[in-house]
Amino acid sequence: MVDLRQRRCWVFDMDGTLTLGIHDFEAIRAELALPVGEPILESLAKLEQIDPAEAAAKHRRLDEIELEVARKSSAQAGAGDLLEWLRSHHIPIGILTRNSKPVAYETLKACDLLDFFKSDHILSRDCCPPKPQPDGIFKLLDEWQKQPAEAVMVGDYRFDLEAGRNAGTATVYIDPTGQFPWQTQADHSVIDFHTVLGWLQAG
Protein backbone atom coordinates (compact mmCIF):
# COMPACT_ATOMS: atom_id res chain seq x y z
CA MET A 1 0.00 0.00 0.00
CA VAL A 2 1.31 3.44 -0.95
CA ASP A 3 2.17 5.60 2.07
CA LEU A 4 0.80 9.05 1.25
CA ARG A 5 2.83 10.58 4.07
CA GLN A 6 5.95 10.08 1.94
CA ARG A 7 4.55 12.01 -1.01
CA ARG A 8 5.89 15.54 -1.38
CA CYS A 9 3.50 17.11 -3.92
CA TRP A 10 -0.19 16.71 -4.74
CA VAL A 11 -2.17 17.28 -7.94
CA PHE A 12 -5.96 17.55 -7.74
CA ASP A 13 -8.72 17.25 -10.26
CA MET A 14 -11.34 19.94 -9.63
CA ASP A 15 -14.97 19.11 -10.51
CA GLY A 16 -16.30 16.21 -8.47
CA THR A 17 -13.01 16.02 -6.57
CA LEU A 18 -12.38 19.29 -4.73
CA THR A 19 -15.97 20.26 -5.54
CA LEU A 20 -19.24 18.41 -5.30
CA GLY A 21 -20.10 16.85 -8.65
CA ILE A 22 -23.05 18.76 -10.15
CA HIS A 23 -22.37 18.52 -13.89
CA ASP A 24 -25.02 16.78 -16.01
CA PHE A 25 -22.73 15.65 -18.81
CA GLU A 26 -25.47 13.90 -20.78
CA ALA A 27 -27.52 17.11 -20.77
CA ILE A 28 -24.47 19.06 -21.96
CA ARG A 29 -23.86 16.55 -24.73
CA ALA A 30 -27.53 16.79 -25.75
CA GLU A 31 -27.43 20.60 -25.88
CA LEU A 32 -24.27 20.53 -27.98
CA ALA A 33 -25.63 17.71 -30.17
CA LEU A 34 -22.65 15.49 -29.42
CA PRO A 35 -22.62 11.67 -29.38
CA VAL A 36 -24.17 10.07 -26.30
CA GLY A 37 -21.62 8.69 -23.85
CA GLU A 38 -18.55 10.03 -25.67
CA PRO A 39 -16.24 12.43 -23.78
CA ILE A 40 -17.10 16.02 -24.69
CA LEU A 41 -13.60 17.32 -25.43
CA GLU A 42 -12.78 14.32 -27.58
CA SER A 43 -16.05 14.74 -29.51
CA LEU A 44 -15.27 18.40 -30.15
CA ALA A 45 -11.73 17.52 -31.25
CA LYS A 46 -13.17 15.16 -33.88
CA LEU A 47 -15.62 17.84 -35.00
CA GLU A 48 -12.77 20.33 -35.44
CA GLN A 49 -11.35 18.07 -38.15
CA ILE A 50 -14.67 18.12 -40.02
CA ASP A 51 -16.17 21.56 -39.37
CA PRO A 52 -13.90 23.98 -37.46
CA ALA A 53 -16.50 26.75 -37.41
CA GLU A 54 -19.17 24.53 -35.86
CA ALA A 55 -16.67 23.17 -33.36
CA ALA A 56 -15.66 26.70 -32.35
CA ALA A 57 -19.30 27.66 -31.80
CA LYS A 58 -19.86 24.60 -29.63
CA HIS A 59 -16.70 25.33 -27.66
CA ARG A 60 -18.05 28.81 -26.93
CA ARG A 61 -21.36 27.39 -25.76
CA LEU A 62 -19.53 24.82 -23.63
CA ASP A 63 -17.61 27.65 -21.97
CA GLU A 64 -20.91 29.39 -21.18
CA ILE A 65 -22.44 26.24 -19.72
CA GLU A 66 -19.38 25.50 -17.61
CA LEU A 67 -19.31 29.05 -16.24
CA GLU A 68 -22.95 28.72 -15.21
CA VAL A 69 -22.14 25.52 -13.34
CA ALA A 70 -18.95 26.99 -11.85
CA ARG A 71 -20.85 29.76 -10.10
CA LYS A 72 -23.03 27.17 -8.35
CA SER A 73 -20.11 25.06 -7.14
CA SER A 74 -19.41 24.12 -3.54
CA ALA A 75 -16.46 22.41 -1.92
CA GLN A 76 -16.26 18.70 -1.24
CA ALA A 77 -16.36 17.82 2.46
CA GLY A 78 -12.92 18.15 4.00
CA ALA A 79 -11.31 19.65 0.88
CA GLY A 80 -10.35 22.91 2.55
CA ASP A 81 -8.98 21.14 5.63
CA LEU A 82 -6.78 18.86 3.51
CA LEU A 83 -5.48 21.74 1.39
CA GLU A 84 -4.73 23.77 4.51
CA TRP A 85 -2.78 20.88 6.03
CA LEU A 86 -0.73 20.44 2.86
CA ARG A 87 -0.05 24.16 2.62
CA SER A 88 0.94 24.37 6.27
CA HIS A 89 3.47 21.60 5.67
CA HIS A 90 4.90 23.38 2.60
CA ILE A 91 3.80 20.63 0.24
CA PRO A 92 3.21 21.94 -3.32
CA ILE A 93 -0.34 21.54 -4.60
CA GLY A 94 -1.81 22.06 -8.04
CA ILE A 95 -4.97 21.68 -10.12
CA LEU A 96 -5.25 19.68 -13.34
CA THR A 97 -8.70 20.06 -14.89
CA ARG A 98 -10.34 19.40 -18.24
CA ASN A 99 -12.15 22.73 -17.80
CA SER A 100 -10.95 26.04 -19.21
CA LYS A 101 -8.79 28.30 -17.05
CA PRO A 102 -11.51 30.95 -16.52
CA VAL A 103 -13.93 28.24 -15.42
CA ALA A 104 -11.33 26.81 -13.05
CA TYR A 105 -10.86 30.21 -11.41
CA GLU A 106 -14.61 30.79 -11.15
CA THR A 107 -15.16 27.35 -9.64
CA LEU A 108 -12.41 27.63 -7.05
CA LYS A 109 -13.57 31.15 -6.18
CA ALA A 110 -17.15 29.95 -5.60
CA CYS A 111 -15.82 27.21 -3.30
CA ASP A 112 -13.47 29.51 -1.35
CA LEU A 113 -10.53 27.37 -2.48
CA LEU A 114 -8.82 29.72 -4.92
CA ASP A 115 -6.37 31.18 -2.39
CA PHE A 116 -4.77 27.77 -1.88
CA PHE A 117 -3.36 27.68 -5.42
CA LYS A 118 -0.78 29.72 -7.27
CA SER A 119 -1.99 30.81 -10.70
CA ASP A 120 0.77 28.90 -12.51
CA HIS A 121 -0.25 25.74 -10.67
CA ILE A 122 -3.83 25.74 -12.00
CA LEU A 123 -3.61 23.85 -15.29
CA SER A 124 -6.56 23.54 -17.65
CA ARG A 125 -7.31 22.32 -21.16
CA ASP A 126 -5.93 25.70 -22.27
CA CYS A 127 -2.50 24.82 -20.83
CA CYS A 128 -1.87 21.23 -21.85
CA PRO A 129 -3.48 18.16 -23.46
CA PRO A 130 -6.44 17.01 -21.34
CA LYS A 131 -6.36 14.04 -19.02
CA PRO A 132 -5.86 11.09 -19.31
CA GLN A 133 -2.74 12.49 -20.98
CA PRO A 134 -0.11 13.00 -18.25
CA ASP A 135 1.39 16.20 -19.72
CA GLY A 136 -0.13 18.48 -17.09
CA ILE A 137 1.23 16.38 -14.25
CA PHE A 138 4.70 16.44 -15.78
CA LYS A 139 4.46 20.21 -16.23
CA LEU A 140 3.71 20.67 -12.53
CA LEU A 141 6.44 18.25 -11.49
CA ASP A 142 8.97 20.16 -13.58
CA GLU A 143 7.88 23.40 -11.92
CA TRP A 144 8.25 21.85 -8.47
CA GLN A 145 11.42 19.94 -9.35
CA LYS A 146 9.82 16.71 -8.14
CA GLN A 147 9.71 13.17 -9.47
CA PRO A 148 6.55 11.12 -10.16
CA ALA A 149 7.42 8.81 -7.25
CA GLU A 150 7.04 11.84 -4.95
CA ALA A 151 3.61 12.83 -6.27
CA VAL A 152 -0.08 12.05 -5.79
CA MET A 153 -2.86 12.50 -8.34
CA VAL A 154 -6.32 12.84 -6.77
CA GLY A 155 -9.54 12.52 -8.74
CA ASP A 156 -13.08 11.21 -9.00
CA TYR A 157 -13.05 9.83 -12.55
CA ARG A 158 -11.08 7.33 -14.57
CA PHE A 159 -9.33 10.05 -16.61
CA ASP A 160 -7.79 11.45 -13.42
CA LEU A 161 -6.60 8.06 -12.25
CA GLU A 162 -5.34 7.10 -15.70
CA ALA A 163 -3.41 10.36 -15.93
CA GLY A 164 -1.75 9.55 -12.62
CA ARG A 165 -0.95 6.04 -13.73
CA ASN A 166 0.42 7.33 -17.04
CA ALA A 167 2.65 9.77 -15.16
CA GLY A 168 3.81 7.22 -12.60
CA THR A 169 2.33 8.92 -9.53
CA ALA A 170 0.31 7.51 -6.67
CA THR A 171 -3.45 7.80 -7.22
CA VAL A 172 -6.23 8.62 -4.77
CA TYR A 173 -9.81 8.02 -5.90
CA ILE A 174 -12.59 9.93 -4.16
CA ASP A 175 -16.17 8.71 -4.59
CA PRO A 176 -18.66 9.87 -1.93
CA THR A 177 -21.09 7.15 -3.06
CA GLY A 178 -18.59 4.44 -2.12
CA GLN A 179 -19.21 2.59 -5.39
CA PHE A 180 -15.68 3.04 -6.85
CA PRO A 181 -16.20 1.73 -10.42
CA TRP A 182 -12.55 2.51 -11.33
CA GLN A 183 -10.97 1.24 -8.13
CA THR A 184 -8.43 -0.87 -10.00
CA GLN A 185 -6.75 2.36 -11.13
CA ALA A 186 -6.33 3.67 -7.57
CA ASP A 187 -3.82 3.12 -4.80
CA HIS A 188 -6.35 4.46 -2.28
CA SER A 189 -10.13 4.82 -2.56
CA VAL A 190 -11.96 7.11 -0.12
CA ILE A 191 -15.43 8.56 0.33
CA ASP A 192 -14.19 11.87 1.73
CA PHE A 193 -11.08 13.92 2.37
CA HIS A 194 -11.32 13.60 6.14
CA THR A 195 -10.03 10.05 5.70
CA VAL A 196 -7.01 11.24 3.74
CA LEU A 197 -6.29 14.00 6.26
CA GLY A 198 -6.47 11.45 9.08
CA TRP A 199 -3.79 9.34 7.39
CA LEU A 200 -1.50 12.33 6.99
CA GLN A 201 -2.01 13.58 10.53
CA ALA A 202 -1.28 10.11 11.89
CA GLY A 203 2.26 10.51 10.59
In order of 28, 31, 113, the CA distances from 24 in angstroms are 6, 11, 22
Residue 110 belongs to domain with CATH number: 3.40.50.1000
pLDDT of residue 22: 74
Q: Are residues 146 and 197 in the same domain?
A: yes
My answer on whether omega of the bond before 92 falls inside 30° of 0, hence cis, is no
For range 178-202, the mean pLDDT: 96
Q: Are residues 66 and 94 in the same domain?
A: no
Q: Are residues 81 and 126 in the same domain?
A: yes
Q: Are residues 60 and 31 in the same domain?
A: yes
DSSP 130: P
Q: Are residues 115 and 177 in the same domain?
A: yes
- Write out the residue range of the structural domain in which residue 62 sits: 25-70
pLDDT of residue 184: 96
In order of 12, 81, 129, 164, the CA distances from 34 in angstroms are 27, 38, 20, 27
In order of 82, 107, 133, the CA distances from 184 in angstroms are 24, 29, 18
pLDDT by residue (tens digit) across 15-54? 999 999 777 778 888 888 888 888 888 888 888 889 899 9
Q: Are residues 79 and 58 in the same domain?
A: no
Gap between the Cα atoms of 94 and 113, Å rounded: 12
For range 186-198, the mean pLDDT: 97
Q: Are residues 16 and 35 in the same domain?
A: no
Q: Are residues 130 and 165 in the same domain?
A: yes
Percent of the chain with pLDDT over 70: 100
